[in-house]
């Protein structure tokens, strides 16, 4: 049955979506009190979930063992996107300090990248780690355009690129034809890298789509065709499930795209969504960063494990 299922928030736009959710599962609002929620990441070993409240300069922590929320780090240098690497370490994009960092197992902070060719990065936004240890991140200018989510400054690089940092520390541009590169995620087998472009935020004719790149054996990118264009607002952050579907933030909630880029269903959320992340012991729970609130819902799909 297509359409919105009354009282659930689930909207079926294609029969494929009917198998993706549990009919009597409900979206739960876990916490509220943020200004702009982003950067979700799940820590399986600790059974907790971190996310960024960018304007409040803090990283929050939802403890799934008792449902409590506390402050994980403040100040957070206006951190935005997060992920975990294969060793379970936190990788952070920081607007204020215009860098990507790793929090080591002893709590110390290692800078992964803060410059390219001697020029400061703009404001790293979102990040993923490939199984070979390379760290891929986007660098739009949102954190330097105003003081709300960072600190106003000129771009030294003068453009917004996508970068890869190899395990030896070398940094490369992997895509230089984006307006505002934003969320990114690999397909389950890492043969494809999806990257969102949210250029529409500062140009009504700008992009609001996700592009699909093939990942070459030498970790350069090919392809880059538009994979899907957002029908409500824009695609900011997103994650991929084990079957290759994309679960993306959008203005009216979460959009689910199949492997052909078709919008097959939605999870309606009562506020703008900035990012999502799979969590829980079986990675079948989607954590959803609404503007002011953290939501979650159990699904009948499983996310790709980042660890």
* Residue ranges that bind Mg ion, judged by CB under 5 A: 125-126, 182, 236-237
Residue from 220, 90, 97, 214 nearest 162 by CA: 220
Distance of closest approach, residue 37 Cβ to Mg ion, in angstroms: 11
Q: Are 27 and 296 in contact (CB under 8 A)?
A: yes
Distance of closest approach, residue 142 Cβ to Mg ion, in angstroms: 8
Distance of closest approach, residue 81 Cβ to Mg ion, in angstroms: 6
Q: Which is nearer to Mg ion, 80 or 103 (CB)?
A: 80
**Residue 42 structure tokens:** 């799940």
Q: Which is nearer to Mg ion, 63 or 203 (CB)?
A: 203
Q: How far is CA 70 from CA 48, 63, 101, in A?
A: 11, 8, 22
Is residue 70 classed as helix, strand or coil in its secondary structure?
A: strand
Q: Which is nearer to Mg ion, 21 or 136 (CB)?
A: 136
Q: Which is nearer to Mg ion, 236 or 271 (CB)?
A: 236
Q: Are 124 and 81 in contact (CB under 8 A)?
A: yes
Distance of closest approach, residue 140 Cβ to Mg ion, in angstroms: 8
Distance of CA 52 to the CA centre of its chain: 11
Q: Which is nearer to Mg ion, 21 or 227 (CB)?
A: 227
Query: Vertex 97, ends 93 and 102: CA angle to 5°?
Result: 45
**Residue 150 structure tokens:** 């960072």
E strand or H helix that includes residue 209? strand 209-215
Sheet holding 171-175, edge to edge: 127-129, 135-138, 162-165, 171-175
Distance of closest approach, residue 264 Cβ to Mg ion, in angstroms: 23
Q: Which is nearer to Mg ion, 64 or 181 (CB)?
A: 181
């Amino acid at each position: 049955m297509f359409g919105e299922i009354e009282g659930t928030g689930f909207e079926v736009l294609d029969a494929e979506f009917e198998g993706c959710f549990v009919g009597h599962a409900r979206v739960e609002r876990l916490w509220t009190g943020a200004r702009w929620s982003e950067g979700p990441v799940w820590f399986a070993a600790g059974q907790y979930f971190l996310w960024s409240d960018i304007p409040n300069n803090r990283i929050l922590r939802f403890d799934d063992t008792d449902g409590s929320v506390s402050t994980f780090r403040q100040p957070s240098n206006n951190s935005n996107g997060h992920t975990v690497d294969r060793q379970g370490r936190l990788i952070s994009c920081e607007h204020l300090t215009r860098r990507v960092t790793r929090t080591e197992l002893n709590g110390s902070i290692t800078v992964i990248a803060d410059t390219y060719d001697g020029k400061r990065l703009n404001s790293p936004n979102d990040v993923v780690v490939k199984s070979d240890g390379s760290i891929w991140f986007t660098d739009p200018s949102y954190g330097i355009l105003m003081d709300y989510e960072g600190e106003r400054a000129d771009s030294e690089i003068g453009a917004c690129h996508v970068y890869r940092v190899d395990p030896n520390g070398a940094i490369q541009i992997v895509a230089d034809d984006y307006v505002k590169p934003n969320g990114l995620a690999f397909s389950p087998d890492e043969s494809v890298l999806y990257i969102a472009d949210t250029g529409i935020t500062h140009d009504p004719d700008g992009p609001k789509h996700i592009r699909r790149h093939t990942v070459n054996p030498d970790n350069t990118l090919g392809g880059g065709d538009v994979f899907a264009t957002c029908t409500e607002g824009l695609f900011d952050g997103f994650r991929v499930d084990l079957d290759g579907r994309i679960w993306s933030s959008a203005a009216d909630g979460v959009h689910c795209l199949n492997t052909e880029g078709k919008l097959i269903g939605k999870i309606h959320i009562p506020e703008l969504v900035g990012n999502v992340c799979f969590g829980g012991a079986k990675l079948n729970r989607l954590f959803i960063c609404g503007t002011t609130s953290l939501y979650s819902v159990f699904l009948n799909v499983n996310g790709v494990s980042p660890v």
